[in-house]
Amino acid sequence: MKSKEIRYKFLEFYKERGHSVIPSSSLVPENDPSLLFVNSGMFPLVPYLLGETHPEGKRLVNFQGSFRSDDIEEVGDCRHTTFFEMLGNWSLGDYFKEEQLGWWFEFLINEIKLDPSKIYQTVYSGDGDIKKDEESIKILKGIYKKYGIEAEEGPSIENNFNPEVSPEIDFKKDRIFTYKGDNWWQRGNAIGELGGPDSETFYDTGKKHNLAFGRFCHLNCDCGRFLEIGNSVFMQYQKSSSGWTELKNKNVDFGGGLERLAMVSQGVNSIFKTDLFIPIIKKIEDLSEKKYENNVKEFEIIADHIRAAVFLIGDERGVVPSNKQQGYFVRRLIRRAIRYGKQLDINSKEWLSNLSNEIIRDYKEYYPELEKNSAFIFNELYKEEEKFNLTIERGLKEFKKIKKDEIISAKDAFNLYQTYGFPIEMIEEMAKETGQKIDKKGFNDRIIKHKELSQTASAGAFKGGLVDSSEKTTKLHTATHLLLSALKTVLGEGVVQRGSNITSERLRFDFTYPKKMDDREIREVEGLVNKYIKDDIPILVEDMSFSEAISSGATASAKKYPEKVRVYSIPSVSREVCQGPHIKRTSEIGVFKIIKEESSSSGIRRIKAKLN
């Protein structure tokens, strides 16, 4: 089944069961410092899972673009991508395990015609006060029986599962397996955080088990025989001072990867052989005059990385290549694709634009922002390729300096990798040509240390849960509405919000303006915000259709919204489409202080502010 049909059938299936279709959100989180990118379909809905009421009701469904930077190094194994699409459905305090698991199997078997004998399921094995998920096991056994399969529960597989000493699993009778860490989800460890068991769905691809991953196979084995295609998270607990307590209103959060569903539905052994990637792969074959089958890793890295870069640059909050935060990963994707393009002898000018044009054409029906921003995408790709070509030339000059050494040291190899962007494969090829060897162990040790330092820095820069809904953060969120209004009054109505990032300590607000604000303008904006606060204005909230919201004078900072939206009004100051949360009156905010005004990017200014 083609990917377009899978997308369509999923939305229609859940619409028939009372779900409202909501749009895909930006890949760049707003108001949230804890993540650089939206990395799951659930992320944009966290406020509603925490208790906010959604304008579209308690049953929701959509497809959501997602990006995971952690998977960059994994691309090239036929099943990992950095950008991917999640098909998702949610119950906000409505249905629970029985309906969710039953509908999901019905969709897989009746709608996209998967073979039920190849479907396997995992559930939570229990730990401490949280017991084994016997309820899901009972439901699953009934579902399998409905499709003519007597499903037995296999041996419990803990996180320390050792396939060398554990017994071989009989996959003909055992279909339900319990895991601990792999089947428990929680947002964080703070009081008030949500958590619960999940049930993952795996499909047997028929791939032969690779003994390099242990004597025997299991569902989460890295050999790739079993492919995870969906996960139903049951949010039924909340963290309290005494442990996890049962929630009165339980939620369901389901996510299924479109690329993987297309792979198993189309009966191929790689995501990159599905209709989602075939046009891109064929274009790379044309550009390189080489075959995918003979250069699998290089083709998959180029196809994945350029697709991801196109989506990130073409996003409604478009990310340009740079050396920091989101831009760092866009630059890394593009440069890694260029490096592997050179290994395939792709030398045609503007080949990145030609490839990205293929991607835009394939996805514009579902992500119209890509076509709208196509010129911007082409320009950024071209500029980055030009910059990287200069870097490669400098790197080659650096390599010539170490050609005299019989062994290329770990330090020199890592310098070529980190400073000049040379992959180790390229360094090895160059060393082979000059009769040199590389201190590969030392190089790998430096890579591991570099990753550990990067992860530590990332954890420090983006600590916290997915969304900080503390009182201080809520005050700052409301303050952004006052700030935008004040900026428009002082600088002109042409000011448009271009993103915000809020922690409990400060807010960061990006907006369109062609030049640096002077001291008088900054003081005037700050004074106006504090006047709004002192005036003790009530914050009003209304639910209405998006068209009604715009007709009523509400502004909207994003490009895509569901049919029904929430409008927050601060009379005589601001009226905006926003998901909240907000305080009740402006006087609750305190004293607003601008601490910095600076450039964010070309034509975009940034204000940082705090509350005293």
Q: How does pLDDT run across 491-541, given as a tens digit for each residue?
A: 998 888 888 888 878 899 999 898 999 999 999 999 999 999 999 999 998
List, as one string, the DSSP characters of 491-537: H-TT--EEEEEE-SS-EEEEEE-SSPPPHHHHHHHHHHHHHHHHTTP
pLDDT at position 467? 42
pLDDT at position 458? 41
In a domain, 465, yes or no: no
pLDDT at position 357? 94
Residues 198 and 290 in one domain: no
In a domain, 150, yes or no: yes
pTM, to two decimals? 0.75
Contact 237, 196 (CB under 8 A): yes
**Which band of pLDDT confidence, cut at 50, 70 and 90, is reported for residue 603?**
confident
Domain that holds residue 317: 277-399
pLDDT at position 180? 84
Residues 41 and 164 in one domain: yes
Residues 68 and 147 in one domain: yes
pLDDT at position 464? 29
DSSP β-ladder status, 226-240 and 564-570? unpaired
Q: Tell me the per-residue pLDDT of 422-460, one tens digit each, with 9 for 90 and over.
A: 777 778 878 887 888 899 899 988 888 776 665 554 443
Residues 146 and 287 in one domain: no
Q: What is the CATH number of the domain that holds 32?
A: 3.30.930.10
Q: Choose between 74 and 197: higher pLDDT.
A: 197
**Residue 602 clears pLDDT 80, i.e. is over it:** no
Q: Tell me the per-residue pLDDT of 188-229, one tens digit each, with 9 for 90 and over.
A: 777 788 889 999 999 999 999 888 887 788 888 888 899 999
Residues 371 and 483 in one domain: no
**Residue 462 clears pLDDT 70, i.e. is over it:** no
**Which band of pLDDT confidence, cut at 50, 70 and 90, is reported for residue 490?**
very high
pLDDT at position 496? 86
Q: How far apart are CA 134 and CA 193, in angstroms?
A: 24
Residues 236 and 382 in one domain: no
In a domain, 435, yes or no: no
Residues 514 and 541 in one domain: yes
Contact 60, 19 (CB under 8 A): yes
pLDDT at position 165? 60
299: Cβ contacts below 8 Å, ≥ 6 apart: 272, 281, 284, 285, 292, 344
Q: How far apart are CA 50 and CA 93, in angstroms?
A: 10
Q: What is the CATH number of the domain that holds 569?
A: 3.30.980.10
Lowest average pLDDT, out of 167-171, 421-425, 563-567, goes to 421-425
Q: How far apart are CA 499 and CA 593, in angstroms?
A: 19
Lowest average pLDDT, out of 204-218, 272-286, 586-600, goes to 204-218
Final residue of a structural domain among 399, 415, 431: 399
Residues 89 and 172 in one domain: yes
Contact 7, 366 (CB under 8 A): yes
Final residue of a structural domain among 229, 244, 271: 271
Residues 46 and 27 in one domain: yes
pLDDT at position 395? 83
Closest CA to 417 of 452, 387, 386, 448: 448
**Which band of pLDDT confidence, cut at 50, 70 and 90, is reported for residue 161?**
low
Residues 327 and 256 in one domain: no
Max mean pLDDT among 67-71, 296-300, 403-407 falls in: 296-300
Structure tokens at 342: 């050179």
Residues 179 and 288 in one domain: no
Q: Give the whole-number percent of the chain exceeding pLDDT 90.
A: 50
Final residue of a structural domain among 240, 271, 302: 271
Q: Give the whole-number percent of the chain exceeding pLDDT 70.
A: 94
Within 10 angstroms of residue 325's Cβ, the number of other Cβ atoms is: 14
Total domain count, the chain: 3
Distances (CA, A) of 412 to 408, 429, 453: 6, 15, 19
